[in-house]
Structure 1
Amino acid sequence: MNETEKILLILDLDETLIHATEKKLEIEPNFQYAEYYVYKRPHLIEFLTEMSQYFKLAVWSSADDKYVKDVVELIKPTELELEFIWARSRCTTRRDYELDKYVREKRLKKVKKQGFRLEKSLIVDDSPEKTRDNFGNAIYVLPFEGNQNDNELISLSEFLKSIKDSDNVRRIEKRGWRNVKTAYNNV
Structure 2
Amino acid sequence: MDEKSDKLLILDLDETLIHATEKELGFSADFKFDKYFVHKRPHLDQFLVDISKHFKIGIWSSADDAYVTEIANNIKPDNVELEIIWGRSRCSLKRDYTFDNYYFEKRLNKLKKKGFRLEKIIIVDDTPQKSRNNYGNAIYINEFSGNATDEELKHLQDYLLTLKNVDNVRTIEKRGWRTNKGGT
- TM-score tier (shorter): over 0.9
Q: Which amino acid aligns with 1:92?
A: S
Partner of 2:112: 112
Partner of 1:32: 32
* SS, match of residue 53 in structure 2: helix
Residues of 2 paired with 1:162 and 1:118: CA distance? Answer: 18
* SS, match of residue 139 in structure 2: strand
Aligned in 2, Cα 1:2/1:27: closer, same or farther, shift over 3 Å? closer
* SS, match of residue 119 in structure 2: helix
Deviations 1:82-104 (A, max 9, x none): 11100000000011123431110
Q: Which amino acid aligns with 1:169?
A: V
* SS, match of residue 167 in structure 2: coil
Query: Scaled by the length of structure 2, what TM-score is found?
Result: 0.96
- Where in structure 2 are the equivalents of 1:33-182 lying within 5 Å? 33-182=33-182
Q: Which amino acid aligns with 1:40?
A: K
Aligned in 2, Cα 1:7/1:24: closer, same or farther, shift over 3 Å? same
Residues of 1 paired with 2:79 and 2:125: CA distance? Answer: 24
Runs of 4+ residues over 4 Å off in structure 1? none
User: Cα RMSD (Å) of the superposition?
Assistant: 1.2
The aligned length equals 183
Residues of 1 paired with 2:67 and 2:73: CA distance? Answer: 10
* SS, match of residue 16 in structure 2: coil
Q: Which amino acid aligns with 2:25?
A: L
Residues of 1 paired with 2:98 and 2:18: CA distance? Answer: 27
Deviations 1:104-147 (A, max 9, x none): 00000101121101000000000100000101000000000000
* SS, match of residue 14 in structure 2: coil
* SS, match of residue 136 in structure 2: helix
The percent identity for this pair of structures is 56
Q: CA deviation at 1:26?
A: 1.2
Aligned in 2, Cα 1:46/1:99: closer, same or farther, shift over 3 Å? farther
Q: Which amino acid aligns with 1:163?
A: L
* SS, match of residue 124 in structure 1: strand
Residues of 2 paired with 1:46 and 1:101: CA distance? Answer: 38
Residues of 2 paired with 1:99 and 1:54: CA distance? Answer: 40
* SS, match of residue 83 in structure 2: coil
Q: CA deviation at 1:27?
A: 1.1
Query: Scaled by the length of structure 1, what TM-score is found?
Result: 0.94
Q: CA deviation at 1:182?
A: 2.4
